[in-house]
Structure 1
């Protein structure tokens, strides 16, 4: 998502791209962003004016559920904007029309070659905005404008008509300023925490992966996978892949006990690496034969939970404006591009700073903080930190994962 500076960031990025292209074709030409009635044709240098004449809301994106919310949580969807630009060349001198057409051709070619604004282009041109972190790319598309609409536009501009071309930038997603709500999860259902169970016979001629226990783990935990025909290969591995961090990470099974070897066809046990990044991984069982052939089962999602590290609990005082700044350590460290939230009580907070490298220290700002003792939860790519377990094996909220606001 982006902040409210995203509109200006798109304009500045377009100016940077067009300045490089126009400057090469017409030395001395500059790219401006002014209303057409303020641009004069008798300027000493050639110019291309990029004017944002309209901003509209995309109805289909506005009706989508907020990104990153889970069942039972509430949040406001992002403000989805479509930006409409008018590109107009200006030149002076005897060959002003020829120069203006050269400028227009260079600009159209530049936007044809840069139909998608890349994150690095946006970050360099507009470091004041976090538009480069938006998951959805901003696409630049030419728009056909009728003669009647062109006439109405230039009449509204109160300026003499000049040859121009229209483009739209879609989509710019601006985060809502209203906080969402993330209620505390249910830790147990019933005395034995068991719900209804239903299972179908999925046994077939090929190895299959049917489940993993637990479904959400911490780095270094033991994972038990269940399925069929695990004993048909000469070697068995658990292959983990991540959509952002890549992979694969191959994990060999730990040494099985005598009882576990009897169930080797349907069950395998793995000890996960201690440095496995938090987030949602894809897990599949890979069977290898001595002749080099390999066979993989379908992949299932595996959540690797982050953990709030010390010093905890946090004790903070409110600032003059009523806000509180929180700094926490997380294990394992988070990577650039991962979505991070700190949930204080029922309020999800986004990080205060965008992190450009792997880090285990995160800062958050809690506006209008309420005095009292509030539980803390850390969420990385929709995977939340796990509750603690008491002496009887029942889950409970960690007593130190809190912030006390004076």
Structure 2
């Protein structure tokens, strides 16, 4: 994502491209290469550079004007939309003697490079800046030169779209929903309706800990984010019948190959897959999917062995916070969070304190990191008098998957409601 330096970075990138294009034709172009002066600073004399690039208008981009940032805001969260801009430039040939040739060189360079990546503080690859010619009528061109004492020079207009400048207002992240209603049941099951002769995964449930038992006793939806040492229960049709062996392949978009896990028959239509700690280091946090390979029993000795594959069913593998320090701090202050599994390349990390997202203090963490330092500048307050003081649950987000803030092992009576674990709570003090 870009910051306040994006406009200058785009202008600099265009200027560098045009200068390089001129040097391919002239080994020593005019002094200064390509300038970015306003039109009233230009004068028709031989000492001028061959081309001038003038940013004459900045417009809001209608498409991105009220859109959230896809990689920063999840469903149910609210965030400030980025400042989306279209930049309009006037490319002018400043030497009358070679104006048509010089302008042709510049136009060819921009035509050959329709997409620019200024790098540094500029555009995220999700939405790169595109360069296109912007036809102007004679009347519009005349308006640009109005008030300029120098003669009208040969010019052509271009538009660069879109330049996104990220808002510095933090995204607000709602706390997780622990219960839905008071009745039972509060979820709806939908059957896939596929033929039972094909093995089909219909749904996945996560966990068999005390919190998960409380959910099932209340007919509430189970957890969807698995952690280290969790079990995954797989429900479907054709999974057990005549099965000799079942292997689950866990697929992760950041892993080059599948991770095989042995499935155990729990009877009926249910299987369970364990995520043991010694294998969990091979599973990065983030969205995953499971596919089962089912080896069937031979009906006759000379039968050919059959291995069926199911559909892929998605779930999430959540990071596990192992320690937070300190548990009480004054703002502004640093929080060190240790977690598992370690990060892999280019994973997005954020700390959510209450409903405010905090980015890593030292930029993007490196692959293999298992702790990150976050700088807490401000938190949300329940009232103006409190100025954000109080206790806040803490979650770690890796690739859009949040850690669990509930104590999964605590026994919960039927009359109780789950609470956030004190191990994942930070107190903000004066």
Q: 1:53 to 1:377 in 2, by over 3 A?
A: same
User: 8 Å contact 1:133–1:337 — kept in the other structure?
Assistant: no
Report the TM-score when normalising by structure 1. 0.81
Which of 397, 404, 416 is residue 379 of structure 1 equivalent to? Answer: 397
For the residues of structure 2 that align with 1:193 and 1:383, how far apart are their CA atoms? Answer: 28
Which of 53, 70, 82 is residue 50 of structure 1 equivalent to? Answer: 53
Alignment of 1:125-144 (within 5 A): 127=120, 129=121, 131-133=122-124, 135-144=126-135
Which residue number in structure 1 is paired with residue 411 of structure 2? 392
The answer to whether residue 70 in structure 2 is matched with residue 59 in structure 1 is: no
The answer to whether residue 321 in structure 2 is matched with residue 312 in structure 1 is: no
For the residues of structure 2 that align with 1:229 and 1:332, how far apart are their CA atoms? Answer: 33
Which residue number in structure 2 is paired with residue 87 of structure 1? 91
User: 8 Å contact 1:89–1:101 — kept in the other structure?
Assistant: yes
Task: Answer with 68-77 or 1-10: which moved more.
Answer: 68-77
Which residue number in structure 2 is paired with residue 326 of structure 1? 335
Q: 1:282 to 1:141 in 2, by over 3 A?
A: farther
For the residues of structure 2 that align with 1:203 and 1:307, how far apart are their CA atoms? Answer: 36
Deviation at 1:182, TM superposition (A): 2.0
Deviation at 1:389, TM superposition (A): 1.4
Two-structure CA RMSD over aligned residues (Å): 3.3
Which residue number in structure 1 is paired with residue 171 of structure 2? 180
Deviation at 1:384, TM superposition (A): 0.8
**Partner deviation per Cα, 1:195-220 (whole Å, 9 max, x = no partner):** 23333352324332211222211245
Deviation at 1:391, TM superposition (A): 2.7
User: 8 Å contact 1:237–1:250 — kept in the other structure?
Assistant: no
Which residue number in structure 2 is paired with residue 9 of structure 1? 9
For the residues of structure 1 that align with 2:294 and 2:14, how far apart are their CA atoms? Answer: 51
Which of 232, 253, 263 is residue 223 of structure 1 equivalent to? Answer: 232
Rg larger for: 2
Which residue number in structure 2 is paired with residue 169 of structure 1? 160
Deviation at 1:112, TM superposition (A): 2.5
Which residue number in structure 1 is paired with residue 426 of structure 2? 403
**Partner deviation per Cα, 1:33-72 (whole Å, 9 max, x = no partner):** 2212223443536332222111111223223345343444
Deviation at 1:74, TM superposition (A): 2.2
For the residues of structure 2 that align with 1:108 and 1:219, how far apart are their CA atoms? Answer: 57
For the residues of structure 1 that align with 2:365 and 2:16, how far apart are their CA atoms? Answer: 22
Task: Answer with 203-212 or 6-15: which moved more.
Answer: 203-212
Deviation at 1:234, TM superposition (A): 7.4
SS of the aligned residue for 2:142 comes to helix
Report the TM-score when normalising by structure 2. 0.77
Count of matched residue pairs = 383
The answer to whether residue 188 in structure 2 is matched with residue 197 in structure 1 is: yes
The answer to whether residue 338 in structure 2 is matched with residue 346 in structure 1 is: no
Q: 1:185 to 1:268 in 2, by over 3 A?
A: closer
5+ long unaligned stretches in structure 2: 207-223, 297-302, 380-387
Which residue number in structure 2 is paired with residue 108 of structure 1? 107
Q: 1:108 to 1:184 in 2, by over 3 A?
A: same
Q: 1:241 to 1:269 in 2, by over 3 A?
A: closer
For the residues of structure 2 that align with 1:301 and 1:216, how far apart are their CA atoms? Answer: 10
Alignment of 1:152-301 (within 5 A): 152-155=143-146, 159-189=150-180, 195-200=186-191, 202-204=193-195, 205-214=197-206, 215-230=224-239, 236-243=246-253, 245-254=254-263, 256=264, 260=266, 262-263=267-268, 267-271=271-275, 273-275=279-281, 276-286=283-293, 296-301=309-314
SS of the aligned residue for 2:423 comes to coil
User: 8 Å contact 1:251–1:270 — kept in the other structure?
Assistant: no
User: 8 Å contact 2:229–2:274 — kept in the other structure?
Assistant: no
For the residues of structure 2 that align with 1:239 and 1:43, how far apart are their CA atoms? Answer: 70
SS of the aligned residue for 1:52 comes to strand
Which of 352, 359, 366 is residue 376 of structure 2 equivalent to? Answer: 366
